[in-house]
Amino acid sequence: MIASQNHLSPREAAELAGRLIPDREWKPQSVAEVAQLPPFADKLRESARIHQSPYSELSHEIQDALVLRRSQQMVHTVLLNPLWAKRLAGAGITEPPRDMEEWQHIPLSDKDVQRDFFMDDRPGMVVPLQRGGFEIVASGGTSGGRPLETVYSLRELRDTYEIAGEFLGTYLLDRHFEGTDPRWLFTTLADYQMWSSGTMVGGVLQNVPGVNYIGAGPVTTPVLEHMFSYPGPKALMGISAGIAILSDLGANMSAHSRHSFRVALYGSGVLAQRKRAELRELYPNLAILSYFAATQAETIGLQLSDESPWLTAVPGLHLVEIVDEQGRWVDEGEEGELVVTRLHAHETPLLRLKLGDRMIRRPRGEGPGPKAERFEFAGRTGDVLHLNDSQYSAARAYESLRGTLLSAGAPDLDKLAHEMQFVNHREARTITLIASVDDPQGLTHSLETVLGPNGVQHAFISSLPRALSLFNHGEANPAAIEKTGYRFQILFVHRLSPEIERTDIGKVPLVRDRG
């Protein structure tokens, strides 16, 4: 084989994958053998060495063949575990899939499966906890209210931190960090009570080559000013609320410090357009980008450019799928549920886990740069407005409503609102969009003047049909919505008003259902 050859036929790529993961490793015969398997990261490095190219830039044929081979190895591995074997047998699966078409028959896992397999006695672990060498990471259950633990092999965590950190540095940060001054990467994520974000994302950030890392945790104005006084370009990662508040914390910062802030990476969904505008006004060199992660996956997707909201998966880190209700891949341009399988998980595999997010599948990366899966955030799975039996995407409902209001000459909510939240009072049949703004009284008067007494009701009714979720599209129209008897309203409140419900860690869920 020519070392620099990057493009192989599917047959050649499959042969290469077979050499990289030989049969003796592909089908381990015992739990003891699983514990001794070479890490999958070694296979990625060897692929890169053979082709004299970063793994992220290898052709899709090579990557697809190796991921399929690894996925088959994972099924062989989980079949050694009685609980997994029973689960797969219930779906008629007793051997690994021959291709990715068959892979899609493997049942999806949810948070309940994760809890049953990896909490208490942790019966879903292939290699038992008693062997040691594991890390327990917990989510506080910010959506469902119940804590949730995951188990990782420490050796494989170190690999994934290195892979994701190198990708983050090469394809995102390097383009914003020019010059010879020291480069800085901060995070304001908290790391307490076993909550995973500070632990796992921090592990990635520490492994970005050529940067100085500071795990600051939540910061005050003096602390932020002190950190930003260091010479050199800076990037900071935090939850959306932690990024939004930087426009307040940096208000009196020196111009030199503000100009050194180059990249803001936000997690946890979306950042309001008003906040983006405020941040860019204060920090003129700033790129504001999404870092999409979860308890089960330290880097699911990175927004590589502020010119496009598309997220790019780190090649070789996870198998990322966007699926319909039957667990089948949706077509490009279609919306579905995000499903992730961690590829670096010999001892503690978890197949096809639903993370509770909706994504739009986008075309894979081609040309120079990473050859990677790409997708676009469309909201949390729970971000749905239920009107009787119909389900409306709250994110789409907002965009549609905003457009309707703008067409009528009403103020632009994107430019005025700090935070927004839909509240569905089901028994009272009322949906309220609450927006925190600087001048609630003035905006309320403005809206009433432009729209009239029933204008908000009519705006909602005309907008909602364009917000039907993927699986309910086409089932309702304005007349049908009016027949539900629902009342719709917009409520402007002051910033940090208790009317908007926040989680213990400061997140603002887009939708809240109340009795």
Could you give the CA distance from residue 432 to residue 455 in angstroms, rounded to a whole number?
A: 14
Q: Specify the pLDDT at position 375.
A: 96
Task: Classify 495 as helix, strand or coil.
Answer: coil
The answer to whether 514 touches 426, Cβ cutoff 8 Å, is yes
pLDDT at residue 146, as a whole number: 60
Residues 458, 459, 464, CA angle at the centre, nearest 5°?
Answer: 105
Burial tier of 259 (Cβ tally within 10 Å: 0-12, 13-18, 19+): middle
Helix (H, G, I), strand (E, B) or coil at 34: helix
Centre a 10 Å sphere on the Cβ of residue 11 and count the other Cβ atoms it contains: 10
Helix (H, G, I), strand (E, B) or coil at 300: strand
Per-residue model confidence (pLDDT) at position 3: 36
Position 392 scores a pLDDT of 82
Q: What angle do CA 279, 283, 287 make, to 5 degrees?
A: 75
Partners of 138 in beta bridges: 149, 195
Residue in the structure block whose two tokens are 């900071």? 236
Which pLDDT does position 481 carry in this prediction? 85
Q: How many CA atoms lie within 13 A of 318 on its CB side?
A: 29
Residue 322 burial by Cβ neighbours in a 10 Å radius (0-12, 13-18, 19+)? buried
Q: What is the pLDDT of residue 4?
A: 39
From first to last of its 515 residues, the chain has per-residue pLDDT tens of 333 357 789 999 999 999 999 999 999 999 999 999 999 999 999 999 999 999 999 999 999 999 999 999 999 999 999 999 999 999 999 999 999 999 999 999 998 999 999 999 999 999 999 999 999 887 754 444 466 788 999 999 999 999 999 999 999 999 999 899 999 999 998 765 455 566 788 899 999 999 999 999 889 999 999 999 999 999 999 988 889 899 999 999 999 999 999 999 998 667 888 889 999 999 999 999 999 987 667 899 999 999 999 999 999 999 999 999 999 999 999 999 999 999 999 999 999 999 888 899 999 988 889 999 999 988 877 788 888 767 788 888 898 999 999 999 998 998 899 889 999 988 888 999 999 999 999 999 999 999 988 899 999 998 888 876 544 444 567 888 888 889 999 999 998 888 998 766 567 888 888 76
Q: CA 237, CA 262: separation in Å to the nearest integer?
A: 11
Q: Which two tokens stand for residue 125?
A: 């672990």
Full 3-state SS string of 89-116? HCCCCCCCCCCHHHHCCCCCECHHHHHH
Domain spans in the chain, listed from the N-terminal domain onward = 384-513
Consecutive H or E run containing 212: strand 212-215
Token pair 């939708």: residue:
511
pLDDT value of position 328: 97
